[in-house]
A and B are shown apart, each in its own frame.
Chain A
Amino acid sequence: MADGTNNKVDVSVDTRGMNCPQPLIETRKKLRKMAPGQVLEVQGDHAMSRKEIPLAMQDTGEKVLEVKDEANGAWKIIIQKGG
Chain B
Amino acid sequence: MTTQITGMGGTFKKKKRTLISLTHGTYGHDDDAYGAMLAINAILAMGTEASLLLRDDGVYLALKGQDPNEIGQENNLRQLADLVDLGGKIFVLGPSLEPRGIERSELIDEITVIERTDLVKLLREHELFINF
Contacts and interface: CB of A to CB of B under 8 A. Distances in A.
Q: Do A and B come from one complex?
A: yes
Contacts of A29: 45, 82, 85-86
Interface SS, B side? helix
User: Secondary structure at chain A's binding surface: helix, strand, loop or mixed?
Assistant: helix
A21 B45 contact: yes
Given A21-B38, A32-B86, A27 B45 contact: yes
Interface of A: 21, 24-25, 27-29, 32, 56, 59-60
21 contacts: A21-B41, A21-B45, A24-B42, A24-B45, A24-B46, A25-B41, A25-B42, A25-B45, A27-B45, A28-B45, A28-B86, A29-B45, A29-B85, A29-B86, A32-B85, A32-B87, A56-B46, A59-B2, A59-B46, A59-B47, A60-B47
- Please provide the 4 A-B residue pairs with the shortest distance between their CB atoms, ordered closest to farther: A60-B47, A21-B42, A28-B45, A24-B45
